[in-house]
Amino acid sequence: MHKEILSDLTELAHLKQLCKKKPDLLATLQSCKAKEYEEIWLSLLKALEERTPPDKLIYDAENSTLLFREENDRQYLLTCISFTSIYLQHLANNNKKGKKCIKLDGNFYALFCKLIELQLMLSDREVRMSFGKCLFQLCELNLEENDFSAHVKVHLLIFLLWKTCSSEGKSADVSKLKKNKDLCACVKWGVPEKSTNSFYLLCSYSLNLPKFYAHPDGKFFLAHVWSQHESIASHLFNKFVHNTVVLSHDNISHYSQIIHSTWKNCEGMMKETLEMQIEHLVNLALKCPIKVAARFRNVLSIFHNNKGDKGINNLIFKIYEPIIWRSLMDPCIKNVNYLASMEK
């Protein structure tokens, strides 16, 4: 039966027809053997690669978009994603109780990673939304834990972040990110690879969006991510400082809550990293021009307003003591007076 599938994989019209007859395709997939699946994924991957070389794509520098030159090639990619989604449904149907650990074929890994690469680089919302469904389907399966399953989980996070940060992102999308926060454990923190870079960039971009950082679940997600590793903490802090200078005063309170929540969530070495970042904010509140310094004082106000908390009292003493002594050696002792005014 798999021969019928193989003969239809390379032609767009045939592949579309195959996917339209979903019950028949599911029945055929049910009868396929492991070796036959290898042939299917290899054939589909080869056909996809023939339709997606660089010369079949066009880059628009003015709009920074990468699209297909021919609509047929775009449709082939969408149909290939649809075929993959039906296969994942077949796997879910066969493992409804979720007890069996699913080990996927190596050729399927190669095909799916190619789809990840294509949807990530193309400026095509429909392709991304269609592929997002596949990412959800895969993550809902009881997959064998390996590099591939971790890679898929990271890309589900990237998809959710992209969807939330897009112009059509909704409050429910922010909540889905919070729900899937544990997938952050799969991110290769500090490793300069495409997926990690994409995740970092989207996280920092979310700090531009009030619909994200003003949402309670958005604050929670950013604080959780910030507390995971020194590299993402540094990345987000740089964006945080840059934005604080230009942010409207109404929105600074949200930033204040994020860094306070991050500090509370941290332990060990990450706690030290956050306290160094908070000390840097104090220095900015001291040394920047008056109007800019006022913004950083506003960010830090959440700590001063909660001085009764033992942990915050220790933090204030730890950060301000060296600053006070350095200020005493400065001819301009106004800094000390300023610190005193902040403590009132």
- pLDDT value at position 333? 46
Identify whether 159 is part of a domain.
no
265-271 long-range contacts, Cβ below 8 Å, gap at least 24?
265/223, 265/224, 265/227, 266/227, 269/230, 270/227, 270/228, 270/229, 270/230, 270/233
In a shared domain, residues 107 and 171: no
Q: What is the pLDDT of residues 257-315, one digit of tens each?
A: 999 999 998 999 999 999 999 999 998 998 899 999 999 999 998 888 877 777 877 88
In a shared domain, residues 5 and 122: yes
Query: How far is it, in rounded angstroms, from Cα 138 to Cα 119?
Result: 16
Identify whether 314 is part of a domain.
no
Look at the chain and report how many structural domains it folds into: 2
In a shared domain, residues 172 and 127: no
- pLDDT value at position 183? 96
Identify whether 344 is part of a domain.
no
Q: What is the pLDDT of residues 162-207, one digit of tens each?
A: 999 999 999 999 999 999 999 999 999 999 899 999 999 999 999 9
What is the identity of the amino acid at 262? T
- pLDDT value at position 280? 92
In a shared domain, residues 237 and 110: no
Residues comprising the chain, all counted = 344
In a shared domain, residues 139 and 2: yes
Q: What is the pLDDT of residues 14-59, one digit of tens each?
A: 999 999 999 999 999 999 999 999 999 999 999 999 999 999 999 9
Instruction: Check pLDDT > 90 for residue 141.
Output: yes
In a shared domain, residues 125 and 242: no
Q: Which letter does DSSP use for residue 67 in this model?
A: E
For residue 233, the enclosing domain spans 166-305
| Farthest CA pair distance, the chain | 87
Instruction: Check pLDDT > 80 for residue 327.
Output: no
In a shared domain, residues 21 and 136: yes
pLDDT bucket at 1, cuts 50 / 70 / 90: low
Q: What proportion of the chain, given as a percentage, has pLDDT over 90? A: 76
Candidates 319, 323, 325; CA nearest to 303 is: 319
Average pLDDT over residues 226-238: 97
- pLDDT value at position 96? 76
In a shared domain, residues 138 and 175: no
What is the identity of the amino acid at 51? R
* Its pTM surpasses 0.75: yes
Instruction: Check pLDDT > 90 for residue 344.
Output: no
In a shared domain, residues 217 and 93: no
Query: How far is it, in rounded angstroms, from Cα 73 to Cα 56?
Result: 8
Mean pLDDT of the chain, nearest integer? 90
Containing 66, the helix (H) or strand (E) segment is strand 65-68
In a shared domain, residues 187 and 267: yes
